[in-house]
Amino acid sequence: MFKLVIAPAALALFALCAIRPLHAEQSNGLAPEVTELNTKDNLYQLEAKLPDIDKPYISVAPEDKKDGITVGKLGTDGGSVDAILKFADEIAHAPKDEKINNVDSLLIAYKGKLLFESYYRRGRANFPHYQMSITKSYTALALGRAIQLGLLKADDIDKSAISFLKKLDTAKLAPGSDAITLAQAMQMHSGISLSEEKAKELRQHPAQLKGQGEIQAYLQNSEPIPALPRKFKYQEADPAIAMQVLDAVTPNGASEFIKNELLKQLGIVNYQWENAVSGLPKSAAGSAICSRDMLKFGMLIVNNGRWQGEQLIPEAYITRATSPNVHSYGTSYYGFFWWVEDFKVADKTYHCIEGRGAGGQFIFMFPEIDLIAVVTSHDKGMGNMLTVAAERLIPAFVQH
C-alpha cells in the first residue's frame, strides 16, 4: 500500500551520525515520508502498520516547503539548541511503554517561525496523523469561519441551536431542548443525557441517524434538559450539534465548507476527515492532519484569526473560543472545543491554549511568549506530554 522512502543523502548522513550522550544529532537530509499515499484509504489502520523509522529525523533549521509556514533556525531565532536537542534525545530513546513515550513528531514555532521539526517512530512528514478529540477544536474553527463569511451572525452562537435545524420534529424533543445554545454545545454544556442502554439501541438503527435524524435521536431520547448552570459533560452529542448547525447554514454542506473555506485557505490539502453515521463529517473525532498543518491551526489562533494577512476568523470569536469559559477537569478550563490551562514553570505562570486528542495529539500555544508546539503520538490514553511539554519547552525559550 505504501513504503517508506528516505532520500539517499539522508540515509548516508544517518549512517555517519552517532547519537551523543544526552543529545540527539541534527539531521541534514529530507524529513521521512511515505509514497503511494492514498487519503481515501483508512489512515487510522495504515498508521498502525507504519514501521518505526530507523533513526529519528531532527532538524534545528526546518526546510522551507513554501507551504505558508515561515521557517528559521533554533538558537539564531530563539531558543536553546542544547535544551531542545536534549529533550529530543529523551523522546527518541524513551523506554518502550504502551501508554507513554510513543511520540511520533514534535514541531516548535517561536515568534512566527518554525524553528524545530522532528519525527520519530511512526512519524512521517506527509502522513496525516489520526487526530481523535482534537477534531472538535477544528470544528470550532470552521464555525468561526462561517461567522467571518456572514453565514452566521456573531450573536447566533448564543441562540437556540435547534433553531437552525429545520428538519427536526420539535414536538418530540425532550423538554428544554430549545434552551441549548450553540455556545453551550461547544462548551460541553448541552445537558443532554442518554442512558447507555438507549445509546446502544440507537446505534443498532443507523438509518434513523442520517442527517438531522442524529440530533433528533439525541434530543428525543434525552432526559429533560436541566436549567443553567449545567455540569460539564464530555460527550459526542455536543460536537454533533455544532457540526449539524454548520451543515445547515453552509450552501453546500459542512464537508465542502470545511474543505474549501477552512482547510484550503490554510493550504491544507493532504488530510482525511471521516464521516459520521449522519453522513456529515465527524466532529468528536475522525480527522487526520499532518504535523505541519496542525501547526497552521496554532498559528491561526495565536495570530487572532489572521493567516497571511487575511482575517479568516473573527478576532472576537477566537478570543471567546479560547477563553476559560467553563471549568472542565482539575486545573483545566474549556472554551469552544479548545482547552485552557495555566502552567507554573519556575516562579512564573504561563497561560496555555490547547488542542487535545487521545493517543497524544496536541497543539500547545503559549501566547504571551509566542510559542507553539505540535505533538503527535500513538500512546494509550493521553500519554505524558500534557504535563511534560510545558516544563521542558518554556525554559528553553524564556531563559535564552
Q: What predicted TM-score, i.e. pTM, was given to this entire model?
A: 0.92
Residues 182, 250, 307, 120: is their CA dihedral positive or negative? positive
Other Cβ atoms closer than 10 A to 36: 8
Assess contact for 294 and 271: CB atoms under 8 A: no
**Which contiguous run of DSSP H or E holds residue 203?**
helix 196-203
pLDDT of residue 400: 63
Q: What is the mean pLDDT of each run of 10 residues along the chain (400 residues)?
A: 36 32 68 90 93 96 97 98 98 94 98 98 97 97 98 98 98 98 98 91 91 97 96 96 98 98 98 97 98 98 98 98 96 97 94 97 98 97 94 92
pLDDT of residue 383: 93
Query: Which residue type occupies 194?
Result: L
pLDDT of residue 225: 98
Assess contact for 120 and 53: CB atoms under 8 A: yes
pLDDT of residue 2: 36
pLDDT of residue 9: 36
Using alpha carbons, list the distances in angstroms from residue 188 to 86, 226, 235: 39, 14, 7
Domains and CATH numbers, the chain: 37-77+91-133+264-395 (3.40.710.10), 152-249 (no CATH)
Query: Which residue type occupies 348?
Result: K
